[in-house]
Amino acid sequence: MHELILGGARSGKSRLAEKLAAASGLAVSYIATSQALDGEMNGRIQQHRERRPAHWGLVEEPLELARVLTEQAAADKCLLVDCLTLWLTNLLMLEDPARLAAERDGLLECLAGLPGRIILVSNETGLGVVPLGELTRRYVDEAGWLHQALAERCQRVIFSVAGLPMVLKGEAL
């Protein structure tokens, strides 16, 4: 099963994804897309590390998500990707539209063929104030288009608000 979990900042989406992964009964690998570029992000990364079970695998990959998913996916594994909007930000910061398009297309193309359970976590940024500036508007647009394309391809889509999951598509929790 492939799942997409969306929500705002501190909405409970990562905790829900971790709970679903732990309950899957499969070997879990956590695919982290963040980069510790400053002290604040270092703290967030540390919180996530402390919350995860020690026996889970970890792959840190800020850019080449399709490659890592293809290499790591197996029928007896659960891959938890946290988070797609950080991955998108990393690609936007490269200022190479061709690279962003290639990595996004690679993710969308590989997803259907991946065995096992895949849980994708992403921030829903399209519900707030329209951002000022070209880069932030592009970020919101790219995230929205990515979420729509992934929601088409995933068997279950969940929206998390205040720690409460709402299933938008697929079987109930």
Task: Give the residue numbers marked as catalytic.
Answer: 48
How far apart (Å, rounded) are the C-alpha atoms in residues 114 and 69?
8
* Max Cα distance, the chain (Å): 45
Residue 34, both tokens: 């963040």
- Distance in angstroms between the alpha carbons of the first and the last residue of the chain: 13
Cα torsion for 149, 141, 119, 92, to the nearest 10°? 120
How far apart (Å, rounded) are the C-alpha atoms in residues 66 and 81?
11
